[in-house]
Structure 1
Amino acid sequence: MRETSSKGFFWHWGHTIYRYRRLVVIFWAVLFIGFGMVAQKTPGMLKDNGFTPKGSDSDRGLIELQQELDLPASLLNLVYTRDGADLTKAEEKQAIMDSLLDLKKLLYVQQISFSATPRNTGRNDVQTVTVALNLHTDPALEKYPEIKGTVKPPAGMKVYVSGGPAILYDMQQASKNDIAKSEVIGLPIALLVLLVVFGTLVGAVLPMIVGLMSVTTTLGITYFIAQSYSLSNFLPNMVTMLGLAVGIDYALFLVSRFREELKRQQNVAEAVAMTSQTAGKSIFFSGVAVLIGLLGMFFVDLTFFRSLCLGGLLVVSVSVLAANTLLLALLGILGARINSLNVLPQSLRHRGSSRFWEKVAYGVMKRPLLLTLIVGCGLIYMMTPLGHMKLGVPNAEVLPPSYESRHGSDLMKLAYDSREMNPIQIRIHTEKEVWDEASIRQVREFARKTANTSGVNKVQSYVNALGAGSDAELAAILKAPEARKQLEDQKLAKNHTALLAVVPVRDPDDPGTDVLVRDLRKLNPGGLDVLVTGGPAYRLDIIDRIQGHIPEVLAFVMGITYLVLLAAFRSILLPLKAVLMNILSLGASLGIVVLVFQYGYMADALHITSIGYVSATLPVIIFCVVFGISMDYEVFLISRIMEEYESTGDNELSTAEGLKKTGSLITSAAFILVVVVGSFIFTDIEIMKALGLGLGLSVLIDATIIRVMLVPALMKLLGKANWWAPKWLRIRKENRGPSGR
């Protein structure tokens, strides 16, 4: 991929954009205003966290329990506390119930009751009321402010509303806050970097315009998609993070090239056309590389990943389109005025920077083997925490403790036995009605097998709820409508469906409980139709669905990326080297994420709450996003080195010249990206914090250690082998059309 003066498709594209430059700007202005009016409403439209493993045993079992046993569609937990008080006393419980009279009057409130979950010793200062709602997630979120308004604690007490709808509501609010917070932190720093790079206010502002346009347009498009499809409420954060980072980066490359072309070309029209032919073309193929990485997330069958994939595809596509239309049009209108409004003296811009990168390249190539071993071993050492990485699926933990729903959830974990609070549930379907003697016998036998399974603490069912007695005796008791009604009200059995609650020996998120879920699914049901569900099974199905598709994600992203680079460089080793170095930077950054989020290193300094595990989503997201973005820098650097090599045939000189010409720009672009994604470390949602840290570190390592040290060292070590290709590939290389920034 070389720079060229030939007039190809992108040259004519740039010339056309220049010709209709004012119409293009008007079109984008109308688009911005139109989508901007609905973009701010998008976070409120997204009411799904995206972690439902649709079609899995746990998902099907939960749905059937809700349908057949009339389990509530959604639950809220009202967590009351008062320091030094015993809230289990009758008078305290009565005061709590009296304070909920207005809540009971709401038509969609099905039941209000105190939690029957066994307590941990010494935590009588916490009391929990469970509120069952006849509302599914979307209507429950709409009614949540009304519900919250009716919940007033008795005098001297505090109350925290938690549970599914409350957590989702807080996540929506956090998402809105995070978008604003990341922009407040990231954009001023990005602008400062752009001012240093360009030295003029006009040149610095243009990339900001492209980034904001890309984000706003994408959120507007998402608003209309969300009318028909369920999307994860994490999508707006992903769009903001990627849109600002990629949009500003692409515009940086384009504006930088346009300023060069103004000095070379006869007029502004030629400068715009040649900027499109070089930087515009590279931005297009860079966007394709990023899209390939993002498409990897589509293989994981969870709404969370497919929503982020959709948001990423949209915002990167819009960024590429905006750079190659809007920005080219603005450059055509501004012309030489791109260099107006100086903020830095000419003498301070990039002074000595080219010479610096040249010295770095030759310095690295003096001892390439030693440097490769030191850097390679260092990066591999940074990957070692991955061997002890514990994956989990966060619920309320995605929010910081300052949010009410998270704090309420934390109080419940302290006050109650988490195993009892979140048991494994088994949906049992009998051929005859559950009240029949034959059904009682089958359920009793299956419950016995379940109780004898290693890792089971106790089993609860409608059979043992009736007390001791033979199958015939229990069947006789259940002939009474009152006995049946009591079990139906307890949500234990009805018609042909029964619920088995299995309390594990270990905590719900313990690996031993995962083994137990798998063992229970292997049990012989003895003529019963069973589905293992409940919190632990739900969590396991989510992790299995993610991990089960990782080979496909890796094969697709690395395989397609290798083929794209093979086509670009016509070399066997260069694409392979690029893929392997990407793995090093990704592994090292993930190792640091494990240290921070799982083990708590530097957590306080980064305002992060260590939750003892890493979200199972992070490795896939970071891999897919960073792989594409890193390839952008790889293509930029290697294409310049290749251009020099084809004209000189000197591998060492070409490497030094390539780094000399690209080092400053790559570093600036990477720093902007690190600042934008890194600003999410200081937002509220823990997944986005981890994503910001992981992406920021990956890009930082890639643009510094990898590009500045490993690339020159390996180019020196491999020598002419860098450029080796089989005969058929060399023939195509001679006939191919050049491209590049």
Structure 2
Amino acid sequence: MTGEAGPVSGPGGRATRPERLVRLLSRWRFALLALTVLVTIGLGAVGMGVFGKLSGGGWTPADSDSARADSLLREHFRSGSPDLVLLVEAPGSVDEPQAAAAGRHLTERLRADARVQHLDSYWPQGDPALVSRDRRTALISLRLRGGEHATAAAAEDIRRETATGTAPLKASAAGRAVAKRDLEKQSQHDLVRAELIAAPLVLLILVWIFGNVLSALLALSVGGIAVVGTLALLHALTEFTQVSIFAVNLTTALGFGLAIDYGLFIITRHREELAAGRDVRQAVLVSVRTAGRTVFFSAVTVTLSMAALLVFPMYFLRSLAYAGMSVAALAGLTAVLVLPVCLLAAGHRVNGRRGPSPSSGEGTESADAERGFFFRTARIVMRRPFLTVILVAPALLCLAAPFQRVEFGLSDDRALPASSPVHRATDVLRNDFDTQATAMASIVLPGLTSPSSRSLSEYAREVSLTAHVVRVDTATGSYAGGDRQAPPTQSSARFSGASGGWLSVVTDAEPFSAEGGELVGALRAVPAPVPALVGGDAAALVDTRAAVGERLGPAVGIIVLVIFTLLFLFTGSVLIPVKALLLNLLSLTATFGAIVHVFQDGNLRWLVGDFLVTGTTDTLLPVLMFCITFGVSMDYEMFLLSRIMEEHRRTGDTTSAVAFGLERTGRLFTAAALVLAITMAAMATSGLTPLKLLGVGLTLAVVLDATLVRMLLVPAIMKMAGRANWWCPRPLRYVHARFGVSETEARATA
């Protein structure tokens, strides 16, 4: 029985590896605590440097046609999406003498700036594409020198410099460089706010659970060490690869959530063993053998589930994989190595008024369990298992139904809050400028030796015949409906260069729509004089969806293989891993459906906070949620299974084992789910739509998993399966005996 204060050594009285580890930790506990504090402080100093080195993109594969087209436009044609767009507003018309003079002066000042690589301005040529329909606002479009961080810093400086000293004109800024800087500022602001919301709430909940401030602080410290270590690792990674801005937010939310889960499980088991009469070192040893083993399997599962994101070529997902893998691994290591040292040093001071009472024997423990809420719930469910499944499963499927109408898109400036200056300025571009109100695509023809040749003219005519194409501009003129509408002008020279030529395609199709995707396919199908690269927002979405579709199968395969293998090694059962995978998939699709209903369709905005409804769901976020949720849900699965298995080995009765296991862990994983839900819900307070969506989605997934799945569906299905829960074919029994948890070890830990 779990609470018996018997010997804890291995067979023959030999010290087991956990016992040798605990002896070592006990002997050097104060030195190890001092070393841990010093290392954590050092890592914290390193980790703080990660801010300012993060990137705001990474949504599209770097080797895709659209990304290559954008790169060629920037490097060889000084064109493509500008880094900074200044919207210069005049009191009256931008053509009035005073306004025009100020505009020319501003243009020349910027043209002479060493940070500016290329500039297009309404002044002095008066390009109609660069003036609003009411002629009160003109554009100055700039491409800046340097990489992503250099252009973002330069754009921020230019925005600040042009905010004053341009009278009578008034300038505001849009463009991806200032959007990146605003994303970074908003992300840091949201991070601080989320921690200010979550930290005190989590601490209060932990104090309520433990009835002891020291135990609560120990659980929090596991999260703090894991987060600090991960930030230091991310800082190091920025020297070798791009790391997304959102990696830091995920690190704090997932790190504190997981680490506190692990701390809860180990501290609770330690307190149970103390209450059962073991001394401090024996209690730590049993906790490491039982709860520590569960935490180890859980941390490995989450780490490998997050590793599935590495199969995708987008650095947005890859950098979040680095963050998730690191924080899960560090949380697990801290929980099984550092936390036992803290418990050895704390002694009996971790007990509190809510600590479990010592059990006098099996009958007392059974009687206590039978009076518990979770025991009674399990018994009620298992009396009518078929009815439970019939009622709960269709409810989850109803939640999943909206996912059938999902429309995928990509995040842009509209991910920023509506109050953002960049968001407001970009809305003006969309609404007040004719050429900006339509979608733009680009076709790059690298290696085209004669940009003014007849072949280019014929190609432009063919492109202009494509559905949804309004106009095509290139070195040989402007085309529409298969005819040349205007001869080349002085500005047409920008469409050619030593590296080839390119075409600007004005369309009436929204980029993130079915028509936009069809247009990209049609443009790529038009025979070109040289291999063509189609770029633009619509092409970026098509390439991203193709990359996700191509790599989704391997990613899902990795997660399925990891979870099945680890759960099999943990339980020795074939059915239990299959059951876990199917139930996780059911709750996850329900979460996806709710996300579409809220964020794509715009329902319940009052409940989750204001955001801009674009009618699309970001292509990459469901993939990210899939990997995180599958990993995190294994926490509760393993917490519950560990106690069910202990009871089943003692009694051989699956029904009573499930009821006792749920009673022993129900309060624990409910509290853990509440803590994790709070950290994720705090992330949902973000002003950035992707973080808000991720926070709401993960919160809902955790709540569904801890209630409908873990409390209702798991007992019902295990009751229906009966003895089949523990079935294992003969060849796999050898595998489990060789690599899994042996029966001898299981009995030693019970």
Please give the TM-score of this superposition, normalised by the length of structure 1.
0.90
Q: 1:562 maps to which residue? A: 564
Structure 2 CA distance for partners of 1:145 and 1:343, relative to 1, 3 Å: farther
- SS of aligned partner of 1:423: strand
Residues in 2 aligned to 1:421 and 1:623: alpha-carbon distance in whole angstroms:
34
Of 722, 730, 735, 1:727 maps to 730
Q: CA deviation at 1:262?
A: 2.0
Structure 2 CA distance for partners of 1:155 and 1:355, relative to 1, 3 Å: same
Q: 2:403 maps to which residue? A: 386
Structure 2 CA distance for partners of 1:378 and 1:163, relative to 1, 3 Å: same
Please give the TM-score of this superposition, normalised by the length of structure 2.
0.89
Contact 1:393 1:543 in 2 (8 A): no
Residues in 1 aligned to 2:278 and 2:480: alpha-carbon distance in whole angstroms:
95
Residues in 2 aligned to 1:117 and 1:331: alpha-carbon distance in whole angstroms:
72
Stretch moving more, 298-307 or 323-332: 323-332
Residues in 2 aligned to 1:466 and 1:260: alpha-carbon distance in whole angstroms:
79
Q: 1:619 maps to which residue? A: 622
Residues in 1 aligned to 2:426 and 2:597: alpha-carbon distance in whole angstroms:
25
Q: 1:460 aligned to 2:473?
A: yes
Residues in 2 aligned to 1:101 and 1:459: alpha-carbon distance in whole angstroms:
30
Of 45, 48, 57, 1:40 maps to 48
Residues in 2 aligned to 1:572 and 1:73: alpha-carbon distance in whole angstroms:
53
Q: 1:540 aligned to 2:542?
A: yes
Residues in 2 aligned to 1:466 and 1:698: alpha-carbon distance in whole angstroms:
52
Q: 1:375 maps to which residue? A: 392
- SS of aligned partner of 1:221: helix
Residues in 2 aligned to 1:93 and 1:248: alpha-carbon distance in whole angstroms:
62
Q: 1:403 aligned to 2:420?
A: yes
Q: 1:686 maps to which residue? A: 689
Equivalent residues in 2 for 1:173-184, closer than 5 Å: 173-184=185-196
Q: 1:504 aligned to 2:516?
A: no
Residues in 2 aligned to 1:346 and 1:646: alpha-carbon distance in whole angstroms:
23
Q: CA deviation at 1:26?
A: 1.4
Q: Specify the code of the residue in structure 1 equivalent to 2:299.
A: G
Residues in 2 aligned to 1:101 and 1:69: alpha-carbon distance in whole angstroms:
21
Contact 1:119 1:415 in 2 (8 A): no
Structure 2 CA distance for partners of 1:686 and 1:14, relative to 1, 3 Å: farther
Q: 2:159 maps to which residue? A: 148
Q: Specify the code of the residue in structure 2 equivalent to 1:107.
A: A
Of 326, 330, 339, 2:342 maps to 330
Q: 1:243 maps to which residue? A: 255
Equivalent residues in 2 for 1:184-263, closer than 5 Å: 184-263=196-275
Structure 2 CA distance for partners of 1:326 and 1:570, relative to 1, 3 Å: closer
Q: CA deviation at 1:274?
A: 2.1
Instruction: Please list the CA deviations of residues 285-320 of structure 1 after superposition, one character each: whole Å capped at 9, or x if unmatched.
Output: 110110121011111111111100011111111111
Of 492, 510, 521, 1:487 maps to 492
Instruction: Please list the CA deviations of residues 134-172 of structure 1 after superposition, one character each: whole Å capped at 9, or x if unmatched.
Output: 333221123234212211265586543110110111111
Structure 2 CA distance for partners of 1:290 and 1:417, relative to 1, 3 Å: farther
Stretch moving more, 620-629 or 646-655: 646-655
- SS of aligned partner of 1:227: coil
Contact 2:56 2:184 in 1 (8 A): no
Q: CA deviation at 1:421?
A: 5.6
Q: Specify the code of the residue in structure 2 equivalent to 1:245.
A: G
Contact 1:61 1:533 in 2 (8 A): yes
Structure 2 CA distance for partners of 1:53 and 1:213, relative to 1, 3 Å: same
- SS of aligned partner of 1:44: coil
Q: CA deviation at 1:579?
A: 0.3
Structure 2 CA distance for partners of 1:336 and 1:530, relative to 1, 3 Å: same
Contact 2:471 2:505 in 1 (8 A): yes
Q: 1:106 maps to which residue? A: 113
Residues in 1 aligned to 2:644 and 2:499: alpha-carbon distance in whole angstroms:
72
Stretch moving more, 602-611 or 122-131: 122-131
Residues in 2 aligned to 1:674 and 1:605: alpha-carbon distance in whole angstroms:
15
Instruction: Please list the CA deviations of residues 220-266 of structure 1 after superposition, one character each: whole Å capped at 9, or x if unmatched.
Output: 22212212322222211111111111111111111111112223454
Residues in 1 aligned to 2:558 and 2:394: alpha-carbon distance in whole angstroms:
27
Percent of aligned pairs with the same amino acid: 28
Instruction: Please list the CA deviations of residues 177-230 of structure 1 after superposition, one character each: whole Å capped at 9, or x if unmatched.
Output: 122111111111111111111001111111111111211121122212212322
- SS of aligned partner of 1:725: coil
Equivalent residues in 2 for 1:50-199, closer than 5 Å: 50-71=58-79, 74-80=82-88, 92-98=99-105, 103-109=110-116, 110-114=118-122, 126-152=137-163, 159-199=171-211
Structure 2 CA distance for partners of 1:572 and 1:710, relative to 1, 3 Å: same
Instruction: Please list the CA deviations of residues 600-639 of structure 1 after superposition, one character each: whole Å capped at 9, or x if unmatched.
Output: 1111332131332211111111110110110121122123
Structure 2 CA distance for partners of 1:73 and 1:228, relative to 1, 3 Å: farther
Instruction: Please list the CA deviations of residues 94-128 of structure 1 after superposition, one character each: whole Å capped at 9, or x if unmatched.
Output: 44454566544422223251395759996655543
Unaligned runs of 5+ in 2: 11-15, 359-367
Q: CA deviation at 1:537?
A: 1.2
Q: 1:443 aligned to 2:456?
A: yes
Of 651, 654, 657, 1:651 maps to 654
Residues in 2 aligned to 1:486 and 1:30: alpha-carbon distance in whole angstroms:
62
Instruction: Please list the CA deviations of residues 45-79 of structure 1 after superposition, one character each: whole Å capped at 9, or x if unmatched.
Output: 11342224211111222222233323379521123
- SS of aligned partner of 2:614: coil
Q: 2:291 maps to which residue? A: 279
Stretch moving more, 682-691 or 641-650: 641-650
Residues in 1 aligned to 2:297 and 2:344: alpha-carbon distance in whole angstroms:
23
Structure 2 CA distance for partners of 1:679 and 1:53, relative to 1, 3 Å: same
Structure 2 CA distance for partners of 1:81 and 1:9, relative to 1, 3 Å: farther
Contact 1:111 1:131 in 2 (8 A): yes
Q: 1:312 maps to which residue? A: 324
RMSD between aligned residues: 3.1
Structure 2 CA distance for partners of 1:106 and 1:60, relative to 1, 3 Å: same
Contact 1:235 1:307 in 2 (8 A): yes
Q: 2:282 maps to which residue? A: 270
- SS of aligned partner of 2:83: strand
Residues in 1 aligned to 2:222 and 2:437: alpha-carbon distance in whole angstroms:
52
Instruction: Please list the CA deviations of residues 690-711 of structure 1 after superposition, one character each: whole Å capped at 9, or x if unmatched.
Output: 1111111101100011000111
- SS of aligned partner of 1:446: helix
Structure 2 CA distance for partners of 1:681 and 1:82, relative to 1, 3 Å: farther
Contact 2:512 2:616 in 1 (8 A): no
Q: CA deviation at 1:335?
A: 0.5
Q: 2:25 maps to which residue? A: 17
